[in-house]
Amino acid sequence: TVSDNTAAALLVRTLGPDNINRFMQQNSLTHSLLDWSGSGDNLTTPIDVLREMELLATSKMVNANASKQMVEIMLDQTVNNLSAPGLPASTPFAHKHGALDGLLHDAGIVYGPTGPFVFVIMSSDLNSYTTAYDNMPLLMRRVYSYFNDRTSSPALYFPQTRQTVGHDFLKFWHSHGGVDAFGYPIAPEQMRNGVLSQQFERARFEWHPENAGAGGTLPGVVLGLVGQERASHLGLTWSDGSASGSGQFFPQTRQNVSGKFYNYWLNYGGERVFGLPISPAAEMVNPSDGKTYLTQWFQRARLELHPEEPEAQQVLRGAIGTELANTK
């Protein structure tokens, strides 16, 4: 939070530069290099730092919980004299400042009223730091205005299903995985038991204004308990599980998550997106296509293992939203 290099030095000493360079390459930071030999430079580019900020903003840096902790640290940044003065007062800005002789950098996530955006500005060969101090806030002010000085809320029409998604539902859809995570909208916004809701192929978005002031991004958007509801429609019940020694056991629902399902749960939103497990992982006939897959049910989703897909894409979310819509 004070942009001190001690923490970085301790991290490199603990993990080793080779592991850090390997992690950067695996996460598409292909123009960055940590040289701890003493004879070279540590290098990066604005596009790589932009990618890093995007991974943090979408909860994909290591996993959702780690991303959240890193963003919380960055929100406490005490060096706020570079690009931050270009923001309206009290705008949350999770960022990291950097400085060396002739260099000034700033990068982070701005949580504006129309949704978060990532911001990176880097400078080199400065004859005077005044150039950076004058222009960084100006650039920030222009970018912020581009996203926020508009009279209408964002909305997007989906010709695939002839539905429109807008406001915070659209922001949540974009920032938590888009079509791969939730599918397309299959109904317009409507009141459901007194709650504004919208149905998607794999989820149901709900607007809870009582949460709007809570921490995190778009706290007013809550995913409905579609997994729990669909399991109930099918008459599915499961016995209590037990801790297996791998993954994580959830005493609240007495079920364990491990393996690829656990990694997917961690990396793509955790409890907020999927809820807690309500079943063990087991072979099951898929209600949508009639085929059998290794399946695990969660309060807000159903995860399925599709071995016919490429290794990195084998865990898919079931079309629970569509199934629920078709049961009415």
The string of DSSP codes covering 239-287 is ------SSSEEETTTTEEE-HHHHHHHHHTTHHHHH--B-S--EEEE-T
- What pLDDT sits at residue 151? 58
Taking CA atoms, 59 is separated from 22, 65, 66, 212, 324, in Å, by 20, 8, 8, 19, 28
Q: How far apart are CA 133 and CA 294, in angstroms?
A: 56
For the entire predicted model, the pTM comes to 0.59
Three-state SS at 226 = helix
Whole-number pLDDT of residue 144 = 93
What is the per-residue pLDDT for 56?
A: 92
Residue-by-residue DSSP string for 120-163: EEEE-S-S-HHHHHHHHHHHHHHHHHHHH--SS--EEEETTTTE
The values of phi and psi at residue 124, to 5°, are -145, 165
pLDDT attached to residue 244 = 80
Please report the pLDDT score of residue 116 as a whole number.
87
Low-confidence residues of the chain, pLDDT below 50? Answer: none
